[in-house]
């Protein structure tokens, strides 16, 4: 379903991953445009890494110094996002059509169940152009929403367990939808895991997560959108509690395993689904590819953004800002 007269951005396709969830890919109407965007990429400026909200002066100085020395901002900053300005598409005709594509993306609603497997997402734009596409969409959605925190294409960090696996979690960023496309898949390693939030509650209770901890998680789930609630949600499961080993095991065991290939991915509502990954050995990818294994875009669509805007007005009234409760 879409709220515009434009063709829907995604269309259902036949399942090709063996996973029992709806599959979707870019709708045929947009594919020639994606090919034209891909052909323009060599003329565009490089994708940037920017903070979606202004950093304090001392932090900016530290980032600038680190970039000068190493070419990198030094440590993972959770407000960082890949970004390619809307104006990077220099041709005004192409830019106008791409903005319609972004509008269709912004208005897209997931089918009931709030999860689809994405497939063949890089066929037209080009295998090497996943990053410019996601970074440009990030800028276009933030521009349409009029709010920098409405779309975050967070570079992947080095987080996860020692064996490279990642326990089932929700990101609980400010935006709620999670659109992930794989750029480099490692055979039989680092597969995605998905688990419905509804299933998690029962498994958590059976694994010994007490009611007050589950209530804290539910509160974080509702309040995420006001700020980044990653720790508040996930630390109730994994914060070194007596139940942590059992709940870690049980949630991973119950999850759907989604083996991913280049150009495949998943698109879920992060408040309705937990995600994780299977073991990914430290040497599975060369260091320079680690943050290019997948590209992810967390964003609010038009409907969710309207709700978020109302809440922002409330926070303004009570003297809180969207960033007011970040740690």
Interface contacts to Fe ion, rule CB under 5 A: 171
| Shortest reach from residue 269's CB to Fe ion, in Å | 13
Using the minimum distance from each CB to Fe ion, give the nearer residue, 34 or 194: 194
163: its two tokens: 């064996």
Look up tokens 């970040």; give the residue: 326
Using the minimum distance from each CB to Fe ion, give the nearer residue, 147 or 171: 171
**C-beta separation of 146 from 273 below 8 A:** no
**C-beta separation of 276 from 253 below 8 A:** no
| Coil/strand/helix, residue 67 | helix
Rounded to 5°, angle at Cα 76 from 72 and 81: 80
CA distance 297 to 152: 6
Using the minimum distance from each CB to Fe ion, give the nearer residue, 171 or 305: 171
Q: What backbone phi and psi angles, to 5 degrees, belong to 237?
A: -90, -45
Using the minimum distance from each CB to Fe ion, give the nearer residue, 107 or 278: 278
- Centroid of chain to Cα 95: 24
Using the minimum distance from each CB to Fe ion, give the nearer residue, 234 or 301: 234
Compute the half-sphere exposure of residue 36: CA atoms within 13 Å on the CB side of its CA: 16
CB-nearest residue to Fe ion:
171
DSSP state letters, 252-274:
HHHSEEE---TT-EEEEETTTEE
Using the minimum distance from each CB to Fe ion, give the nearer residue, 23 or 277: 277
Using the minimum distance from each CB to Fe ion, give the nearer residue, 101 or 173: 173
| Shortest reach from residue 243's CB to Fe ion, in Å | 21
| Shortest reach from residue 71's CB to Fe ion, in Å | 25
**C-beta separation of 168 from 255 below 8 A:** yes
**C-beta separation of 127 from 72 below 8 A:** no
**C-beta separation of 59 from 48 below 8 A:** no
| Shortest reach from residue 99's CB to Fe ion, in Å | 29
| Shortest reach from residue 275's CB to Fe ion, in Å | 6
Using the minimum distance from each CB to Fe ion, give the nearer residue, 40 or 171: 171
| Shortest reach from residue 172's CB to Fe ion, in Å | 9
Compute the half-sphere exposure of residue 99: CA atoms within 13 Å on the CB side of its CA: 16
Using the minimum distance from each CB to Fe ion, give the nearer residue, 114 or 171: 171
| Shortest reach from residue 171's CB to Fe ion, in Å | 4
| Shortest reach from residue 180's CB to Fe ion, in Å | 9
| Shortest reach from residue 265's CB to Fe ion, in Å | 13
The residues, any chain, with a CB within 8 Å of residue 261's CB and separated by 6 or more, are 182, 185
CA distance 170 to 217: 10
């Amino acid at each position: 379903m879409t709220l515009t007269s434009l063709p829907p951005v995604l269309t259902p396709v036949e399942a090709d991953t063996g996973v029992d969830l709806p599959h979707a890919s870019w709708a045929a109407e947009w594919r020639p445009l994606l090919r034209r965007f891909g052909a323009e990429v060599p003329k565009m400026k490089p994708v940037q890494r920017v903070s979606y909200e202004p950093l304090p002066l001392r932090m900016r100085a530290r980032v600038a110094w680190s970039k000068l020395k190493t070419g990198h901002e030094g440590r993972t900053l959770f407000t960082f996002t890949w970004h390619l300005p809307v104006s990077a598409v220099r041709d005004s005709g192409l830019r106008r059509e791409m903005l319609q594509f972004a509008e269709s993306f912004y208005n897209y609603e997931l089918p009931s169940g709030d999860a689809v497997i994405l497939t063949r997402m890089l066929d037209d734009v080009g295998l090497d152009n996943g990053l410019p596409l996601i970074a440009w969409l990030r800028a276009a959605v933030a521009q349409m929403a009029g709010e920098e925190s409405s779309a975050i294409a967070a570079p992947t960090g080095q987080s996860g367990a020692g064996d490279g696996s990642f326990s089932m979690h929700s990101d609980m960023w400010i935006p709620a939808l999670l659109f992930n496309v794989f750029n480099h898949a490692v055979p039989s390693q680092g597969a995605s895991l998905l688990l419905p939030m509804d299933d998690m509650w029962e498994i958590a209770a059976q694994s010994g997560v007490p009611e007050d901890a589950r209530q804290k998680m539910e509160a974080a789930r509702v309040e995420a959108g006001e700020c980044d609630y990653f720790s508040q949600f996930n630390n109730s499961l994994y914060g070194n509690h007596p139940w942590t080993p059992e709940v870690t095991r049980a949630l991973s065991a119950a999850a759907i395993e989604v083996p991913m290939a280049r150009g495949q991915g998943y698109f879920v509502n992060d408040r309705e689904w937990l995600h994780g990954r299977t073991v990914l050995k430290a040497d599975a990818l060369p260091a320079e590819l680690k943050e290019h294994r997948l590209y992810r875009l967390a964003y609010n669509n038009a409907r969710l953004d309207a709700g978020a805007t109302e809440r922002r007005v409330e926070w303004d009234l009570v003297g809180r800002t969207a960033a007011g409760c970040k740690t």
